[in-house]
Amino acid sequence: MASFAFNVSKGKHAYYADLPAASDAFVVIPIEASGVEADSILVDYTSVAAILAGSTNEQTTMGRKTITSVGILIDYANDRVSIDTADIVWSSASGSAVSDLLVAYDPDTTGGTDSDLVPLSWHDFSVIPDGSTITATVNDLIRCV
Per-residue model confidence (pLDDT) at position 56: 97
Per-residue model confidence (pLDDT) at position 74: 83
Per-residue model confidence (pLDDT) at position 10: 67
State pLDDT tens for residues 80-98: 788 889 999 999 999 999 9
Q: What ranges make up the beta strands (E) of the chain?
A: 4-5, 25-32, 65-67, 71-75, 80-84, 88-90, 98-106, 118-127, 134-136, 142-144
Per-residue model confidence (pLDDT) at position 12: 82
Query: Is 2's pLDDT higher than 60?
Result: no
Whether the CB-CB separation of 52 and 113 falls below 8 Å is answered with: no
Number of domains composing the chain: 1
Per-residue model confidence (pLDDT) at position 76: 85
The closest alpha carbon to 115, from 46, 17, 67, 55, belongs to 46
Is the model more confident about 137 or about 12?
137
Backbone angles phi, psi at 17, to 5 degrees: -65, -25
Distance, C-alpha 7 to centroid of its chain: 14
* Alpha helices (runs of H) in the chain, residue ranges in sequence order: 13-17, 39-42, 48-53
State pLDDT tens for residues 116-143: 999 999 999 999 999 999 999 988 787 7
pTM, two decimals, is 0.90
Structural domain range at position 40: 4-144
Query: Is 1's pLDDT higher than 70?
Result: no
Per-residue model confidence (pLDDT) at position 44: 95
State pLDDT tens for residues 26-63: 999 999 999 999 999 999 999 999 999 999 999 999 99
